[in-house]
Amino acid sequence: MPDVTLSPVTTADFPTIARLADSIWRSHYASMISMAQIDYMLAGRYTPEKLHRYLESTECWMQLLKVSGVPAGYCSYALTGIPGEMKLQELYLLPEHQGKGLGKLMLRHVETEARGRGCAVLTLTVNKGNANSIAVYRKAGFTIREKAVFDIGNGFVMDDFVMTKSLTA
């Protein structure tokens, strides 16, 4: 594997994260949700104010992945408030970096962090139409717990599966 680093985001990384999200989301989600919804979600999630949360809070984290020094993806995770439960919030790679084991590397990092913080369960939500990612999560030991529709405002919903993995097995 080439030189791969995973490091906590800093303020200086915020434009990079927003740029990665823009590129990955527009190519990946175009077949699943409308461009209007993608615009809405990108505008809401990747502002400096929202990203600052990862620097200030002691309950959520975001990591930037670089390959040979060049940004390639990111992941984030947060305690859910349910004792012993961590949520994988985001796991994203540029298309040219997918399918090479880097998603697994980030997933392993999140699992290690969750275990280190005493969590027994890792949970996530994934769009029902996101078949490749669902397959990746199944491969990693997640199972579907339930279907869930989340109202995210402006008339948009997220039609998701909730998947979970026991970290104690």
Judged by CB under 6 A, does residue 130 bind ligand COA? yes
Residue nearest to ligand COA (CB): 103
> Is the distance from CB of 128 to CB of 95 less than 8 angstroms?
no
Nearest to 52 by CA among 9, 5, 89, 16: 9
Judged by CB under 6 A, does residue 99 bind ligand COA? yes
Report in angstroms the alpha-carbon separations of 68 from 9, 103, 154, 157. Answer: 17, 16, 40, 37
When binding is defined by CB under 6 A, the residue of 9, 14, 20, 28 that contacts ligand COA is 28
3-state secondary structure of 120: coil
The nearer residue to ligand COA, 108 or 118, going by C-beta atoms, is 108
Judged by CB under 6 A, does residue 87 bind ligand COA? no
What mask, x for binding ligand COA by CB under 6 A, covers residues 135 to 164? xx--x-------------------------
Element (H, E) at 51: helix 48-56
Question: Footprint of ligand COA on this chain (CB under 6 A)?
Answer: 24, 28, 91-93, 98-104, 126, 130, 132-133, 135-136, 139
